[in-house]
Amino acid sequence: EAGVTQFPSHSVIEKGQTVTLRCDPISGHDNLYWYRRVMGKEIKFLLHFVKESKQDESGMPNNRFLAERTGGTYSTLKVQPAELEDSGVYFCASSQDHRTGPQHFGDGTRLSIL
Amino acid sequence: DAKTTQPTSMDCAEGRAANLPCNHSTISGNEYVYWYRQIHSQGPQYIIHGLKNNETNEMASLIITEDRKSSTLILPHATLRDTAVYYCIALPYGNNRLAFGKGNQVVVIP
Distance of alpha carbon B53 from alpha carbon B33, whole angstroms:
11
Tell me if A17 sits within 8 A of A81, measured CB to CB: yes
C-alpha R_g of chain A: 13
- What is the least distance, in Å, from the CA of B37 to any CA of chain A? 11
pLDDT at B4: 95
- What is the least distance, in Å, from the CA of A59 to any CA of chain B? 9
Tell me if B32 sits within 8 A of B96, measured CB to CB: no
pLDDT at B93: 85
Q: At residue B82, what are phi and psi to the nearest 5 degrees?
A: -85, -5
Query: Is the minimum CB–CB distance between A43 and chain B shorter than 8 Å?
Result: yes
- Average pLDDT (B68-85) is 97
Q: What is the mean pLDDT of chain B?
A: 94
Tell me if A81 sits within 8 A of A15, measured CB to CB: yes
> Hey, are the CB atoms on A98 and B93 less than 8 Å from each other?
no
> Hey, are the CB atoms on A43 and B96 less than 8 Å from each other?
no
pLDDT at A97: 78
Sign of the torsion angle spanned by Cα atoms A86, A88, A90, A91: negative
pLDDT at B72: 98
Strand-pair partners of B9: B105
* E strand intervals along B4-60: 9-13, 18-23, 31-38, 45-50, 55-56
Query: Is the minimum CB–CB distance between B34 and chain A shorter than 8 Å?
Result: yes
Of B32, B94, B98, the CB nearest to A103: B98
Assess whether pLDDT exceeds 90 at residue B68. yes
DSSP state of A101: P
- Average pLDDT (B41-64) is 95
Query: Is the minimum CB–CB distance between B39 and chain A shorter than 8 Å?
Result: no
- What is the least distance, in Å, from the CA of A82 to any CA of chain B? 23
- Average pLDDT (B98-103) is 94
Stated as kind and residue range, the H or E segment containing A89 is strand A88-95
**For each of chain A's 114 residues, which pLDDT tens digit applies?**
689 999 999 999 999 999 999 999 999 999 999 999 998 899 999 999 999 999 999 999 999 999 999 888 999 999 999 999 999 999 999 998 767 779 999 999 999 999
Place B102 in a pLDDT band, splitting at 50, 70 and 90.
very high
Between the CA of residue A79 and those of A16, A39, A68, A108, A111, what are the distances in Å?
Answer: 9, 17, 12, 15, 10
> Hey, are the CB atoms on A45 and B98 less than 8 Å from each other?
yes
CB atoms within 10 A of CB A28: 8
pLDDT at A1: 67
- Average pLDDT (B7-28) is 96
Of A31, A33, A42, the CB nearest to B100: A42
Q: Is B80 helix (H, G, I), strand (E, B) or coil?
A: helix
Query: Is the minimum CB–CB distance between B16 and chain A shorter than 8 Å?
Result: no
- Average pLDDT (B23-52) is 94
Stated as kind and residue range, the H or E segment containing B8 is none
Q: CB under 8 Å, gap of 24 or more: what pairs does A51-57 form?
A: A55/A31, A55/A98, A55/B96, A56/B96, A56/B97
